Chains A and B, each alone.
Chain A
Amino acid sequence: MLTAIVSLTVIGLVLGAILGIAARLLKVEGDPLGGEIEALLPGTNCGQCGFPGCAAAARALAEGRAGVTLCPPGGRALVGDLAAKLGVEADLSAVEEDVPRIAFVNENLCVGCTRCFKRCDTDAVIGSAKQIHVIVQDACNGCGKCVEVCPTECISLRPQPVTLQTWHWPKPPLAA
């Protein structure tokens, strides 16, 4: 009887001590999931998800307040990554289009006001005062901030054109 009580007490104390030390040594500051998700998001803080910036969106995702399909500029690739990170099933049908959208400047309407140039978070706009602006396609993720600030409405988001380098075979028709 006594041996049982003593040995169990000793085991309990030892394990408790280990847990206590581990909790101190391996202490986690804040919620790591939010930070990990933020690292996946584009980081342009465009607000298309309805949250104030990518950090807020990441927190919402971590707390389960938002779905993995919230980020239009991220596209399907991001949906897949987020679903894998959160361990949920991704519903790709909610991501309407596969083709990434990027900004285009209608050169006939551009007055060279440089507002989009100042607004772009990824330096995708090239231009200076009273010069027609152009978008560097590779640097644009279609966040749409430039569309909002353009005074002449000359910027629109369009599907990125398919080129010889980006084209790939469609899925062949399959019998059921």
Chain B
Amino acid sequence: MKLFSIRGGVHPKGRKELAADVAIAPVGLPPLLRVPLLQHIGTPAEPVVRKGDLVKKGQLLAIGQGMVSAPVHAPTSGRVMAIGRYVAPHPSGLPGRTVTLKPDGQDEWADLPPPLDPETATPEEIAERVADRGIVGMGGATFPSAIKLNLGGRYDLHLLVVNGAECEPYLTCDDRLMRERADQVIDGILSMRKALGVGRAIVAVETNKPRAMEALRKAGAGLDGLRVVGVPTRYPMGSERHLVQTLTGLETPARGLTADIGVVVHNVATAFAVHEAVRLGRPLISRVVTLSGGGIARPGNYEARIGTPIEALIAAAGGLEDRTARLILGGPMMGQPLADPKAPLVKGTNGVLALRPAESGESAAQQPCIRCATCVSVCPCGLMPLEMAARIRKEQLDAAVEHGLMDCVGCGSCAYACPSRIPLVQLFNYAKGRLTAVQRARHKQEEIKRLARARAERMDAIARAKREQMDRRKAERAARKKAEQTAPEAAAEKRDQETVDA
């Protein structure tokens, strides 16, 4: 198949050999599972269980809210100990709403919905099942998958791309999944293809994973419209818009979706989760996660329940060898530092890395920009990181936006390649967050204005109603008085009558 080239990108050391050749190993149940209610992009789920309830494995714990959301299910059977706030797997270390579950050790399944046959099921049934089983994008973005499966109605789609590029160094969880569970992955892809109503599907795998490609080709042999394609090993090949460009030569519009050019991208791990949901009715309650880095005693891929504390995962991998190692959730390029190892594993966690200082390169000193433009040549989005950084340094965020800040995907290639070790992508993340905060403040200001206006109108209406009532009463009184004056006899008669009655 003809491939197209993308601009920029970098070639960091893969270090995949650390964990790639170890089979996926299950992690036992921890004493307590902490299941966050926000494990996806969108609105947090709302709990439907109460403290003290006994739940079965796979039972609904919390239901999705609004348009963009996903439900959360019990990873095992046990008792709900609390619904409160607990440290989230987030660089801030802030708490988020979390259901704490104490496993009873039975690991007993709840009643699951009946299996669907992707051949006979309607696209709507499949998408509904995926939404109902709480499946979100497992490559790290955690966007609710069902929404992406429903795009067929609104866009003219022609291709499903299944992303098995796994371009981040160290991470091998998708590689192992493709090698060990190729049949299930392919089956999930067929379901997704049915839901989207497209004829063609391409599984894109970086060429550094030949065994995964071989396994997928074997599993998908004889299937129409399904191809397994090797794409060049270059970071960030796994970025969906760059992957689509490599495969089709089409560029996704700025701030648009790949659906705008007729393509939908899903991760291979999501395909596996879709298989489990469609064929077995199982919700997304566990995932494969890579534990690697020089600080981990036994690097490998581990299958763990959602809600397992990261420290329990590290313990399962033999513990930390190096106390000074830096803990990172996700890959070394785009991952986020882990503020607290007590935080739980969530649906979007694809890696836990413990990087020794020599690996993370944090010791190197920062130097002034020499305008070498290395960042410009590696930027896969065609931006000028040095110019944007200079603006952000001076807090001229609007000028940075004019230089294309909003088209930055945050891949970190610029910061990786910078010979002066300037934290470029960190500056962009700061600027994007800052702009969102300003946007939010502006939105709130609008809302406040609306509320103030609404109240003023209401108060006016109340005052007017009062005045009108008073005027009416006054008029009535005046009318009565007038009536008494014009007909004094009648009034006197009436008075007499009243005295007789008394």
Interface residues of A (CB under 8 A from B): 42-45, 73-78, 80-81, 92, 100, 121-124, 138-139, 141, 162-164, 166-176
Contact = CB atoms under 8 A, between A and B. Distances in A.
Contacts of A169: 91, 426, 429-430, 433
B442 A42 contact: no
A171 B430 contact: yes
B287 to A, nearest CB: 21
A176 B392 CA distance: 14
Interface of B: 38, 88, 90-92, 94-96, 365-368, 392-393, 395, 422-423, 426-427, 429-430, 432-434, 436-438, 440-442, 444-445, 447-449, 451-456
A43 B438 contact: no
A122 B441 contact: no
A139 B367 CA distance: 45
Nearest to A100: B441
Nearest to B392: A171
Contact of A167 (B92, B448, B452, B454): B92
Contacts of A168: 429-430, 432-434, 436-437
Contacts of B366: 173-175
A77 B438 contact: yes
A166 B455 contact: no
Contacts of A81: 442
A123 B455 contact: yes
Contacts of B433: 167-169
Q: Which of A45, A75, A122, A124 has the most CB of B within 10 A?
A: A122
A168 B38 CA distance: 17
Given A77-B438, A123-B454, A167-B90, 9 more contacts: A42-B449, A80-B438, A81-B442, A123-B455, A164-B92, A164-B94, A166-B440, A168-B429, A174-B393
Closest 8 CB pairs of A and B: A168-B433, A122-B451, A77-B441, A172-B426, A175-B366, A172-B423, A167-B92, A169-B429
A126 B40 CA distance: 31
Contacts, number: 96
B235 to A, nearest CB: 21
A123 B38 CA distance: 29
A164 B88 contact: yes
B427 to A, nearest CB: 6
Contacts of B91: 169
B452 A170 contact: no
A76 B440 contact: no
A141 B438 contact: no
Given A167-B92, A168-B433, A139 B438 contact: no
Contact of A138 (B92, B429, B444): B444
Given A76-B441, A175-B366, A138 B426 contact: no
A168 B442 CA distance: 17
Q: Which of B392, B437, B438 has the most CB of A within 10 A?
A: B437
A80 B445 CA distance: 13
B452 A44 contact: yes
Contacts of A176: 368
A75 B444 CA distance: 11
A5 to B, nearest CB: 53
A27 B94 CA distance: 56
A169 B88 CA distance: 16
